[in-house]
Amino acid sequence: MSEIKLSNRFYHGTKEELLEKIKNQLSDFRYKHILGVGQTCYELAKLNGVDPEQAMIAGFVHDYAKEKTDEQFIEKIKEKKLDSDLLNWGNFIWHGVVGAEFIKDELKITDEEILNAVRRHTVGAPEMTTLDQIVYVSDYVEPNRSFPDVEIARSLAYANLKQAVIFETKHTLQFLMSSSSKIYPDAILTYNAFVAEN
Amino acid sequence: MSEIKLSNRFYHGTKEELLEKIKNQLSDFRYKHILGVGQTCYELAKLNGVDPEQAMIAGFVHDYAKEKTDEQFIEKIKEKKLDSDLLNWGNFIWHGVVGAEFIKDELKITDEEILNAVRRHTVGAPEMTTLDQIVYVSDYVEPNRSFPDVEIARSLAYANLKQAVIFETKHTLQFLMSSSSKIYPDAILTYNAFVAEN
């Protein structure tokens, strides 16, 4: 993947310039993660008829805002007049929905398909484009991930993207519930659309 | 419980008259269930400082509309101008929220605390009165109920009502999820309020 050159269709600069800007925002651990997600997005895009460059960039930037402070997120929610219910949540939700605004403002990436994939990467949505599904799944199965069922999830991702979305959605919710963690209500809309109707 | 006489504070008639009207609406199986819920509500009300007569009546009527037809529910939703999103759901949701309207219209029970307990008995709510919690839990643990953890749930109900609400909410959602059944989004609000904050 390292030899891939960007075309200027989604980002006005080289891949190295984009990665440098992202690296400046993230800890080494998370930078390694976004490289893995970018690579997985690239591979899943080729398998699913999506533009691999667009998917790779979405993967690189999906956690761009993850290490912003709560104050930065709150300021951005107010500045952009986003849904004020967002203020009741935290980094887990903000880094996707509000993260897209930082990507737009600081990286000058304006492709709405990339921005939507970032917005939806944490809890999904009842209707997800193939690109949305690729970023959602890549985040879960990229090579640095390690959890009991990761090999099943990873095999599914390369065999059948939608089945990987279903697997991830169900298992994530079951995990949150087993640990009595708070669940973002929209995650249930994703569950009802992908898991319950299958 | 059979000797209890009603006071006319919640229902204008005798207990026998009320039960006769309910019996006419339900199969024998479900009539037996509502007697069990009424009895459990009565006992839990005495333990939790709630009016036992009010709780018993709420228990008797909670499933009053359960065997109405879909057409009857849809007509009632339109007649009462209830939230049109209700039309996307079915009996599981309707018999509580819409059921309260049938109780008001056909049994002439107008006590809003009873009606709210009926409205909330299926999926709960982020804020539940003690009466709401009593009906919600009694429906789950009444003597005719039988499922793997019913004895744990029943013991909790008599020991600590709120812990029983937490147990029921978590286990019901886990059960729905394990069978990939659709989840009513409001059930997650109950979960977040009762399970996740404990």
Tell whether the model's pLDDT for residue B198 goes beyond 60: no
**pLDDT of the residue at A166:** 97
DSSP A129-197: -HHHHHHHHHHHHSTT---TTHHHHHHHHHH-HHHHHHHHHHHHHHHHHHTT----HHHHHHHHHHTTT
Tell whether the model's pLDDT for residue A1 goes beyond 90: no
**pLDDT of the residue at B13:** 95
Burial (CB < 10 A; 0-12, 13-18, 19+), residue A65, is: buried
What ipTM does this complex have? Answer: 0.82
Angle between helices B150-159 and B28-47 (to 10 degrees): 40
Average pLDDT, chain A: 96
Q: How far apart are CA A189 and CA B1, in angstroms?
A: 43
Q: Which two tokens stand for residue A105?
A: 């403002």
* Cross-chain CB nearest to B180 (options A183, A185, A195): A195
Which residues of chain B neighbour A195 with C-beta distances below 8 Å?
A: 177, 180
Higher pLDDT, B147 or A22: A22
**pLDDT of the residue at A56:** 98
Domain boundaries, chain A: 15-194
Nearest CA in chain B to A193: B182
> Could you read off the pLDDT of B5-33 as tens digits, one per residue?
999 999 999 999 999 999 999 999 999 99
Q: How far apart are CA A89 and CA B125, in angstroms?
A: 19
**pLDDT of the residue at A35:** 98
Give the Cα-Cα-Cα angle B166, B167, B168 (nearest 5 degrees). Answer: 95
- Residue B189 forms contact with A (CB below 8 Å): yes
Nearest CA in chain A to B180: A196
Dihedral of CA atoms A176, A181, A187, A191 in degrees, nearest 10, equals 40
**Whether A135 contacts A125, CB under 8 Å:** no
pLDDT band at B1 (very low <50, low <70, confident <90, very high): low
- Residue A177 forms contact with B (CB below 8 Å): yes
Best mutation site among A89, A181, A183, A184 for testing chain B: the one with the most B CBs within 10 Å? A183
The dotted CATH code for A15-194 is 1.10.3210.10
